[in-house]
Chains A and B, each alone.
Chain A
Amino acid sequence: MNRNRRRQSINYSSIAIAYALTGLALIPLGLVLWFTIAKGLPAASHPEFFFNVERPVDVPGAGIAHAIVGTLILVGIASLGAIPIGVLGGIYLAEYATSRWTDWVRLACDVLVGTPSIAIGLFAYALLVAPFHHFSALSGSGALAVLMLPIIMRTTEGAVRLIPSGLRESGLALGLPRWRVSLQLILPAAAPGVITGALLSVARASGETAPLLFTAFGNPFLNTDPTQPMQSLPLTVFHNALLPYQSLQEQAWGAALVLVVMVLLINLTSRYVLRRQIRLAGQL
């Protein structure tokens, strides 16, 4: 009897500890969000913060317009490269899953996801900056595209695999060639999942700092020319946060708030799109 009571109390206390640790895991999320909002709002509550560019220390009216525009251009160009390649590669992984080559591609994708982003920055510097003797947004986009590619490939693969094989078989039975089945039947059906992957990779790329340090480099002015150095939100946060001026640190927090809101919105959107995919796949 006594032994059973001890087993029960160990059981209940272990359940309590497991849930307590789970609660503990959520505290950092709350703290990061809370401080980003509390410290970022003073800067981000001025409308000119979104329309002006950097100003000298303590000159009022400084903003991060150049960083917002830069982030959009950098990630936009990276997406143009990474999304088509990633989606086609993902279709290959799912549709021809049996070949040995796909195993290698899959492993390479998973390893590439875990590759330090600073190393990808060094790689982009060697290939896209050093030969031209100047920093450019294009080289930054190149580095971001390498980061995005494996995420898009693997999520596309997952989305295509969710499509019941009946759809593929009926297309083939009607005499459609394999490429039309893949691109015109399977891909549209898998679209929500594919879009989810693309959105997640865009969110990841928008928040990356390390690969941009010696590629896009940063620029205190508004620049829309991709062959020139360009600012981005993470670069603004990184550089300003480490400077010993309170006004610049406030701008860093403001930029961090804008970045977090952007990234979390993209994430929540992708979650919504993914739910539609799962419902859709259930109906097919």
Chain B
Amino acid sequence: MSQEKKHKVKDIFVEGPIDPAFVGTSIAKHATRMDIGAHEIFLGQVRADPVVGAHHDPPATTVSAIEYTAYREMALERMTVIREEAFTKWPSMTCLHVHHSLGIIPAGQLCFMVFASAPHRIAAREAVAWVVDRIKAELPIFGREVLSDSTHLWKTNL
């Protein structure tokens, strides 16, 4: 593993939704890497979850958007540790790209992307699943769910 790949602190945060075209561009950037044989991509999308009111009255509303905020400095430090561990666990992994939205992300839009590439599929697939779980559990990112009736709830990863 190169020192650059291991130690560089990357800013994972982007303001607003992740454009699906950005995903395509990210894939295309790897076309010059002849050692890559597999890409694995996880994309998180904001779900319009139904929210039942207290005592089922008033009637259910839905999540219309999530407003993400973060403790940026701690999140980026944690992400650097997770990246290093991922490259240790899957040394064949060629590269790992992580992006997470901040700000208001409407339902149906992309808010999270984890993209791993490797010579073969198993490393890429396992690394993405592991990195997604670690990020959801360990990065101090907070989500305010804006409901269709203009009230809000706070999202919690359980």
Whether A associates with B in a native complex is no
Interface residues of A (CB under 8 A from B): none
Interface residues of B (CB under 8 A from A): none
